[in-house]
């Protein structure tokens, strides 16, 4: 098969107009599941936007050694998909129609094959194939958003707070889905505020505070680190 995606970010700066949120960030997403943790406003969403070409950036962003394009539609063609916060589904369209739109670049027969694959991967969505996306629960909608992103068969999947606003059981289900996608060969870069659960499924993690990385490492080590225990999990 194709080599697994390895994203290397070196000296990344990005922000809004003159307001720099990220300064000289260095981070990598190796094959597997990498999580970026951090408080509100730390710049986690800004990082994913900069990678996806939604805001301008400076610095090197390499996917398997090749510079990632700065235009969103070109990042899709380079094999990058983003599930944005808020999911951005088409609420008046069915689950199937949302998936079809996720595969708009894909020839029809292949698109049908991928929808079938999505229904195999997300059996709950098969039952809901003709339900309007806007009438689904938050967790179900998040599932549709992930399945839709997978329709472009990305090498790198970026998830912005997939567990946001979900009940604990759904959080576990969504994080489990992220883990399975990583195990199936798509490199996953996930932003999360659910520190404990995210570190439990991730391979590696970074802690972002005020636009800078303050800690990083293997997820199991990070979970035991002082910065995580004191600031996010409550020291015992």
Contact pick of 29, 32, 45, 154 for ligand ATP (by CB under 6 A): 45
Q: Does residue 46 touch ligand ATP according to CB under 6 A?
A: yes
Query: Which residue in 94, 58, 78 sits closest to 153, CA to CA?
Result: 78
Residue 205 sits in the site that holds ligand ATP (CB under 6 A)? no
Task: For tokens 């399975």, name the residue.
Answer: 180
Q: Is 63 strand, coil or helix? A: strand
Gap between the Cα atoms of 232 and 130, Å rounded: 41
State the CB neighbour count (10 A cutoff) for residue 130: 9
Smallest separation (angstroms) from ligand ATP to the CB of 107: 36
Minimum Å distance from CB 38 to ligand ATP?
Answer: 6
Residue 86 CB, shortest distance to ligand ATP, in Å, is: 10
Does residue 18 bind ligand ATP (CB under 6 A)? no
Per-residue 3-state assignment (H helix, E strand, C coil) for 153-198: CCCEEEEECCCCCCCHHHHHHHHHHHHHHHHCCCEEEEEECCHHHH
Judged by CB under 6 A, the stretch of 37-45, 59-67, 108-116, 176-184 that binds ligand ATP is 37-45
Tokens (6 digits) for 39: 């408080």
Task: Give the binding-site size for ligand ATP (rule: CB under 6 A).
Answer: 11
From 13-21, 113-121, 177-185, 223-231, give the range in contact with ligand ATP by CB under 6 A: 13-21
42 binds ligand ATP (CB under 6 A): yes
Distance CA 37, CA 198 (A): 8
Residue 21 touches ligand ATP, criterion: CB under 6 A: yes
Residues of this chain that interact with ligand ATP (CB under 6 A) are 16, 19, 21, 38, 40-46
């Amino acid at each position: 098969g194709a080599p697994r995606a390895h994203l290397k970010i070196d000296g990344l700066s990005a922000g809004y107009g003159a307001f720099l949120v990220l300064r000289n960030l260095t981070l990598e997403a190796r094959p597997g599941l990498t999580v970026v943790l951090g408080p509100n406003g730390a710049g986690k969403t800004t990082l994913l936007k900069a990678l996806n070409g939604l805001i301008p950036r400076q610095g090197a962003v390499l996917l398997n050694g090749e510079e990632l394009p700065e235009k969103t539609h070109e990042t899709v063609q380079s094999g990058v998909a983003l599930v944005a916060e808020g999911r951005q589904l088409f609420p008046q369209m069915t689950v199937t129609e949302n998936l079809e739109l996720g595969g708009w670049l894909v020839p029809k027969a292949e698109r049908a094959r991928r929808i079938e694959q999505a229904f195999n991967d997300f059996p709950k969505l098969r039952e809901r194939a003709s339900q309007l996306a806007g009438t689904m629960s938050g967790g179900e909608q998040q599932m549709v958003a992930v399945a839709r992103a997978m329709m472009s068969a990305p090498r790198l999947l970026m998830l912005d707070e997939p567990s946001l606003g979900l009940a604990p059981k759904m959080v576990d289900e969504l994080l489990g889905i992220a883990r399975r996608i990583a195990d199936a060969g798509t490199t996953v870069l996930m932003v999360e505020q659910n520190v404990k659960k995210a570190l439990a499924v991730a391979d590696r993690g970074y802690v972002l505070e005020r636009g800078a990385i303050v800690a990083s490492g293997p997820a199991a080590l990070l979970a035991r680190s002082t910065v995580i225990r004191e600031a996010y999990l409550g020291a015992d």
